Amino acid sequence: RFEGQASVFDARRGPCYRCLYPEPPPPDLVPSCAEAGVFGVLPGLIGMLQATEAIKLLLGVGEPLVGRLLLVDAQAMAFRELRIRKNPNCVLCSPVATQHGLIDYAGFCGVPSVDGEGGVPEVTATALRDELNGSDPPLLVDVRDPPEWEISRLPGAALIPRADLPERLGELTRARGIVLYCSSGIRSVSAARQLLELGFTNVRSLRGGLRAWARDADPDTGSY
């Protein structure tokens, strides 16, 4: 929350971003800044470093951060520098590169697509609101953790944290329709996929999660 990094990736002169991070971490292990929280001024601090490097490159002056990763610790107000090298087997910039174009980054990074990622059906916030007001409302399941549930939740929802889902399947078997939600719609897609793989059929995920609900369906719902 108090740390940032800055570098300049110019594969002609130094490593590329893929040299440093060949693979992204699993999507559900990456909380967004909104979820994890970040020291408010930190993006400004790192942003000014980035702007400085960009202007230097445009003007052709100074020594850019090529091959150097600048680590900023705002709590200690300490700046450290790591040397980073070109990966001789980099999939993108090495002689043995296998990747030559852009890929499906939304899929790669686990961002649910409009049609649902990996075959998981999704429902929009406004459509869900209509269903909940209708005659055959689905069972709403909140797959977040209890501290998140304490902050805000959808009315009528049941809390079953994603980690507890396998042991609490019994609570879902009688529901005719199930809609899972989380804060942004990533954890709920993966939980829905788990249920679909276990044989549940009418399972959907709220696209965009609680955030989309607060934005599109009910502004009185708190989001974070």
Q: Which residues bind Zn ion (CB under 5 A)?
A: 16, 18-19, 90, 92-93
Active site residue 16: no
45 backbone dihedrals φ, ψ, rounded to 5°: -60, -50
Please say which residue, 92 or 169, places its beta carbon nearer to Zn ion.
Answer: 92
Determine which one of 16, 33, 90, 109 is catalytic.
Answer: 33
CB of 96 to Zn ion, least distance (A): 11
98 backbone dihedrals φ, ψ, rounded to 5°: -110, -10
Please say which residue, 96 or 114, places its beta carbon nearer to Zn ion.
Answer: 96
Q: Which amino acid is residue 122, in one-letter code?
A: E
Quote the DSSP letter at residue 94: S
Please say which residue, 70 or 92, places its beta carbon nearer to Zn ion.
Answer: 92
Cα 24–29–35 angle (5° rounding)?
115
3-state secondary structure of 61: coil
Please give the residue whose beta carbon sits closest to Zn ion in the complex.
90
Please say which residue, 26 or 88, places its beta carbon nearer to Zn ion.
Answer: 88
Contact 209, 188 (CB under 8 A): yes
SS (H, E, C) 162-219: HHHHHHHHHHCCCCCCEEEECCCCCHHHHHHHHHHHCCCCCEEEECCHHHHHHHHHCC
Please say which residue, 32 or 89, places its beta carbon nearer to Zn ion.
Answer: 89
H-helix or E-strand spanning residue 141 = strand 139-142
Q: From CA 81, how far away is CA 192, in angstroms rounded?
A: 42
Active site residue 33: yes
Tokens of 150: 């304490």
Contact 159, 122 (CB under 8 A): no
Report the catalytic residues.
33, 182
